[in-house]
Amino acid sequence: MTRWSIGRVRSVAPTPGSDCEAAFALHFQEDDQPDPQITIEYASGGGGKYASAAHAKAAAASYLDDERPPRRLLVDRAGNVHQRDS
């Protein structure tokens, strides 16, 4: 059984000064209480071609069992997902 489920997903602006062209915020929840938010950013120059709410959910899925999910993920130009420092 997974610890978290993905609640609301919304399009947000990428982090100011980042090299990203699109971003989504996913709200994880546990027991009907909203908890951590993960921001998934898509790199400029190719990463944006993967940008969608469905892709963001898939990118975050491997973190549903984590006690403390990462705050930010980056999807690079090749579509690979990496944890990114806050």
Number of domains in the chain: 1
Tokens describing residue 53: 């709410």
In this structure, the number of other CB atoms found within 10 A of the CB of residue 35 comes to 14
pLDDT higher for 74 or 33?
74
In this structure, the number of other CB atoms found within 10 A of the CB of residue 85 comes to 7
Structural domain boundaries enclosing 64 = 5-83
> Tens of pLDDT along 20-70?
999 999 998 877 666 788 999 999 988 889 999 999 999 999 999 988 889
- Max distance between CA atoms of the chain, in angstroms, equals 39
Task: Name the band, by pLDDT with cuts 50, 70 and 90, for residue 1.
Answer: low
